[in-house]
């Protein structure tokens, strides 16, 4: 198998599995219990919190564990909007993950004023319009760091500068950048930031939200006193410990991995460009996560390309995994100006830690012939 869908999810790192297995097989104590197996579980959770905080340049007390990146996004947005009843405006972008878009739609239905900032053909948000739209009634701006479909990296520093000019808070969905590029929440001046375990070779079903000290936020889930009373529910100890281990490994390997994976991505991008005609690269050339590559194979249905690649054991995506099982055209690809037909011809390749140069060479060997054959079939219909 050649797995090139690392933005959808990643293979769990064996070292993460090993660390988690202690909590799945033996260490079953409730972290709230006062006897040794409870206290030990709590200590491991705090160690995981430390690892994640370190990778973000945050303090341990600023990390709240959740059940997913989706929950972190919901929590940040609803939690801040509810904490500011006197401010009823929320601003986001047109290319956010559904976890943000649908939360924005929920706010709209409940009477808040919501504005979606459009993007240019490369996926960069219109910063002039953002400056015009933000007012003293804006409680929160939520703009993703890297887009999951086309890799565009937004200028968070600039967004924070605009937000602060009107006293608005800033949340960013950094699910696709955490562990891939260096993040420093203090330098960025971000107030809230969402991350997810399964995108960084950790387990599924665990996420976290960074909340800068002093940020007004109301809990989304009510119940017990876990996570400083901000996220009730007995902790997913194995998941949290696994996420912490994944963060520790990411910290150790960040520079080396980035260099190697960016090189593989360049190789794949150049190879596709030089061997396949009638294609369009979607996304910017600079200011991007290089390991996310999105191409339109014009006049073809992406699903046919995906299935043909799958018969060769090569796994890619037709867009974001979250929209793959629906007929809807990706809102990201339409927002950057693709026609519905162009959007339906898009394949996303996302490269990760376990990919090798051999994987890329195999794809470059198989793909041109697959595209040529599919085009022959489609032109004969």
Site size with ligand PLP, rule: CB under 6 A = 14
Of the candidate spans 40-48, 64-72, 123-131, 340-348, the one that interacts with ligand PLP by CB under 6 A turns out to be: 64-72
Q: Verify whether residue 17 is a known catalytic residue.
A: no
Fill in the per-residue mask, 159 to 188: x = in contact with ligand PLP (CB under 6 A), - = not in contact.
--------------x-xx------------
The yes or no reply on residue 316 touching ligand PLP (CB under 6 A) is no
The yes or no reply on residue 5 touching ligand PLP (CB under 6 A) is no
Nearest-approach distance from CB 128 to ligand PLP, in angstroms: 24
Residue by residue, DSSP assigns 281-327 as EES-SSSB-TTEEEEEETTS-HHHHHHHHHHTTEE-BSS-GGGTTSS
The yes or no reply on residue 319 touching ligand PLP (CB under 6 A) is no
* 347 neighbors 302 (Cβ within 8 angstroms): yes
Q: Which strand (E) or helix (H) includes residue 220?
A: none
The yes or no reply on residue 237 touching ligand PLP (CB under 6 A) is no
The yes or no reply on residue 144 touching ligand PLP (CB under 6 A) is yes
End-to-end CA, the chain: 31
Residue from 278, 142, 172, 203 nearest 13 by CA: 203
d(CA 45, CA 241): 6
Nearest-approach distance from CB 73 to ligand PLP, in angstroms: 6
Place of tokens 């194995």: 238
The yes or no reply on residue 202 touching ligand PLP (CB under 6 A) is no
Which residues within the stretch 85-114 sit at the binding site for ligand PLP (CB under 6 A)? 97, 99
The yes or no reply on residue 148 touching ligand PLP (CB under 6 A) is yes
* 113 neighbors 147 (Cβ within 8 angstroms): no
| Backbone phi, psi, residue 366, to 5° | -80, -40
* Local structure of residue 172 (DSSP, 8 states): E
From 6, 12, 62, 69, residue interacting with ligand PLP (rule: CB under 6 A): 69
* 50 neighbors 42 (Cβ within 8 angstroms): no
From 70, 138, 154, 292, residue interacting with ligand PLP (rule: CB under 6 A): 70
Tokens read off for 243: 């996420």
Q: Exactly one of 301, 322, 324, 334 is catalytic; name it.
A: 322
The yes or no reply on residue 291 touching ligand PLP (CB under 6 A) is no
Binding stretches for ligand PLP (CB under 6 A): 68-70, 97, 99, 144, 148, 173, 175-176, 196, 207, 321-322
Q: Which residues are catalytic?
A: 322
């Amino acid at each position: 198998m050649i797995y090139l869908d690392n933005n959808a999810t990643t293979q769990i790192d064996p070292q993460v599995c090993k660390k988690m297995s202690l909590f799945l097989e033996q260490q079953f104590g409730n972290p709230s219990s006062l006897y040794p197996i409870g206290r030990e579980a709590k200590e491991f959770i705090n160690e995981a919190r430390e690892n994640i905080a370190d990778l973000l340049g945050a303090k341990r007390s600023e990390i709240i564990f959740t059940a997913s990146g989706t929950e972190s996004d919901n929590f940040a947005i609803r939690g801040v909007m509810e904490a500011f009843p006197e401010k009823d405006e929320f601003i986001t972008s047109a290319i956010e993950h559904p976890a943000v878009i649908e939360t924005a739609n929920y706010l709209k239905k409940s009477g808040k004023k919501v504005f979606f900032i459009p993007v240019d053909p490369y996926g960069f948000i219109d910063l002039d319009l953002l400056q015009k739209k933000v007012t003293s009634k804006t409680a929160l701006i939520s703009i993703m760091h890297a887009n999951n479909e086309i890799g565009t990296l937004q200028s968070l520093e600039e967004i924070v500068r605009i937000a602060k000019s009107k006293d608005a808070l800033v949340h960013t969905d950094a699910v696709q950048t955490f562990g891939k590029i260096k993040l420093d929440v203090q330098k960025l001046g971000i107030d809230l930031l969402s991350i997810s375990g399964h995108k960084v070779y950790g387990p599924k079903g665990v996420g976290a939200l960074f909340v800068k000290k002093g940020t007004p936020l109301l809990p989304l889930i009510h119940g017990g006193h876990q996570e400083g009373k901000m996220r009730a529910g007995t902790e997913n100890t194995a998941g949290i410990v696994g996420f912490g281990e994944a963060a520790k490994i990411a910290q150790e390997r960040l520079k080396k991995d980035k260099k190697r994976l960016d090189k593989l991505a360049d190789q794949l991008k150049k190879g596709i460009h030089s061997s396949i005609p009638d294609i369009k690269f979607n996304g910017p050339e600079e200011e991007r996560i290089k390991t996310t590559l999105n191409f339109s194979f014009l006049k073809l249905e992406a699903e046919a390309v995906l299935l043909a690649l799958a018969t060769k054991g090569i796994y890619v995506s037709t867009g974001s995994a979250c929209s793959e099982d629906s007929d809807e055209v990706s809102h990201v690809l339409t927002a950057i100006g693709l026609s519905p037909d162009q959007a339906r011809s898009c394949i996303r390749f996302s490269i990760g830690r376990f990919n090798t140069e051999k994987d890329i060479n195999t794809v470059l060997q198989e793909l041109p012939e697959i595209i040529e054959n599919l085009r022959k079939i489609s032109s004969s219909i």
